[in-house]
Amino acid sequence: MDFLLAIGIAIFAGLFLTRFTSRLHLPDVTSYLLAGLLIGPLCLGRLGLPYVGFSSFEFIEEMGLICDVALGFIAFAIGNEFRLSSLKQIGRQATIIAIFQALSATALVDVALLVLHLFLGDKLPVTTCIILGAIATATAPAATLMVINQYKAKGPLTSILLPIVALDDAVGLIVFAVSTGIAKALNSGHISLISVLVNPLLEITLSLGLGALLGWIFSTTEKFFHSRSKRLSLAIAFVFLSSGFSMMHFSLPGGVEIGFSSLLVCMMCGTIFCNLCDFSEEIMYRTDRWTAPLYVLFFVLSGAELDLRVFADLAVVGIGILYIVARSTGKILGAGISAKFTHCEDTICKYLGITLLPQAGVALGMSVAVAAQFGAEGAIIRNITLFSVLIYELVGPLLTKMALTRAGEIVPTPKDNRGII
């Protein structure tokens, strides 16, 4: 199956399944993930029939560039939520909540898994506990954004949710980099200040700086074009540029590694552009409309790469269940406590934590990096992450919809009542 046929089949399968799942009032993102599972290597793809499904996980990995681009557009869109006009109202609250709920999830997962380590011993190393705690910080911005866009959610909870999700990934990247540095130090018996602190801080700082530079260039060059189509094309070009530049990596003497986070670069590019360009709202709106098929493809591919074989390993399932419970508790309690501390509205205090449960792209990216660096231990971490992502991505979007509905920020329409969204 070539790439063009694969792309067409994936988009068609995702869209077609929504005609059935909408009758159950499920979010579209859940439908896309289920479609990916159905046409994935372990379901229809296993039949070996031409042009029916994805035949192997290796083939899906070859389409990883599409996922990278989609995540770039998602991060760019989230940058729209960091307008100074709105940040003056919720900036302090969003920052405190984002940091506290992320660290709460890390702390609870670390404690729960370390207690389990006392019983399992070497089957669950301390380093595995530390890394899984770091991965627990990540929240899936794509799933949250899709639910908000689909149901046109609007209100205090929605306004503070997207900045928190964006900041959450920044916090997560720092915690993950520090945790993997500590894990490497424990395995080698030598703690390096550079790997634990310097490299993570460099990645965050340089990513934000590169994104800011690209955003300034984008806002400056956009003024030379007056055609709507050309302005849209330029916006798309800068998202591709941001994603491409973020793949650069340099090694310096002394163990210093210079790398970039695609999510942070694209998010900062969107943030600077939205605050400098007078007509940025129109451009962002048109960009969102253009990327709709790309988002469908991204989630179908995400569903297809979920390996259901992780259920065969009872140890992975058991650790995965504990991880899910501890992370969910940390997110919900952390968000609720910090929201009350910052004097947020009651609906935010009550429902914010539930909307932060989805987990996908960033967590999977972290697990891939760990699998490449930690060998057999990394493979176990990836399997546990895959198991949790499978559960979170199938249930998380639905919980996000329920939370936003109960908060009064999703208003049912006549179409919703007929079940033909």
- Show the tokens assigned to 308: 């259901």
pLDDT for 234: 92
Give tens-digit pLDDT for 244-255.
998 888 888 877
The full DSSP string for 173-196 is HHHHHHHHHHHHHHHHT---HIII
pLDDT for 330: 92
DSSP 3-state of 294: helix
Give tens-digit pLDDT for 290-312.
888 888 888 888 778 777 776 77
pLDDT > 90 in the chain, percent:
14
**Residue range 74-93: mean pLDDT, rounded:** 74
Answer yes or no: is pLDDT of 232 > 50: yes
Answer with the residue of higher pLDDT: 265 or 88: 265
pLDDT band at 142 (very low <50, low <70, confident <90, very high): low
Residue carrying structure tokens 């989230």? 78
Query: Which 8-state DSSP code applies to residue 267?
Result: H
CA 304 to chain CA mean position, Å = 16
Tell me the pTM: 0.74
Answer with the residue of higher pLDDT: 50 or 384: 384
Give tens-digit pLDDT for 339-368.
898 888 888 888 888 888 887 767 776 776
Answer yes or no: is pLDDT of 47 > 80: no
Answer with the residue of higher pLDDT: 281 or 273: 273
**Residue range 60-89: mean pLDDT, rounded:** 77
Q: Could you tell me the sign of the dihedral formed by the alpha carbons of 113, 114, 119, 124, in that order? A: positive
Give tens-digit pLDDT for 189-202.
666 677 667 777 78
State the chain's mean pLDDT as an integer.
81
Phi/psi at 88 (nearest 5 deg)?
-60, -25
- Show the tokens assigned to 419: 């079940």
